[in-house]
Structure 1
């Protein structure tokens, strides 16, 4: 479950960086965004919107929910 929470936090932090217009050239922001882009690759352009911030919020948000759901289910199965 700790791995799932970490992945979801990285995705949520990436969403926050996009919405706050964080400096993309900053090493920390760049690192988090690279990981977030990789984790959300299957969800890219799931919903197309003209506003980039809204697209990231919706698509990455769906990815975070899916990761949380699947990770919770796997953790529950592992506890059995």
Structure 2
């Protein structure tokens, strides 16, 4: 079994893990696990925010509402933004859509990436 040693890649600046010949410890495995969980959290919140932003874009570009893809994106965005529906009630539909779906997208990104950063520091 090899030991994973944390080092920093001089080109990208990202942390990498190098394999060494001594036995691995539980703390090293815990670091790898927390890093994987952080990556999963980032991926999930990025996908969620992507659906919300895609719906905003489709709405502003006046996409065909009866299209199957547009219906799927709208349904997913509604499910993700259930808690923020009608927080903002402007007369302008475009601005209302941007705010009511943009707020949860921003919140998911901020909270999710904050959690992931905290997991990476552990």
* Interval containing the TM-score (normalised by the shorter chain): over 0.9
Of the two, which has the highest radius of gyration?
A: 2
Q: CA RMSD in A?
A: 1.0
What corresponds to 2:103 in structure 1? Answer: 62
Unaligned stretches of 5+ residues in structure 1: none
Query: Distance between the aligned counterparts of 1:63 and 1:52, measured in 2?
Result: 17
Can you give the 5+ residue segments of structure 2 that lack an aligned partner in the other structure? 1-41
Higher helix content, 1 or 2: 1
How far did residue 78 of structure 1 move?
A: 2.6
Aligned counterpart, 1:19: 60
Higher relative contact order (CA 8 A, sep 6+): 1
Question: Given the alignment, which residue of 7, 11, 28 partners 2:69?
Answer: 28
TM-score in terms of structure 2 length: 0.62
Report how many residues are paired: 80
Match of 2:117 in 1: 76
1:47 aligns with 2:85: no
TM-score by length of 1: 0.92
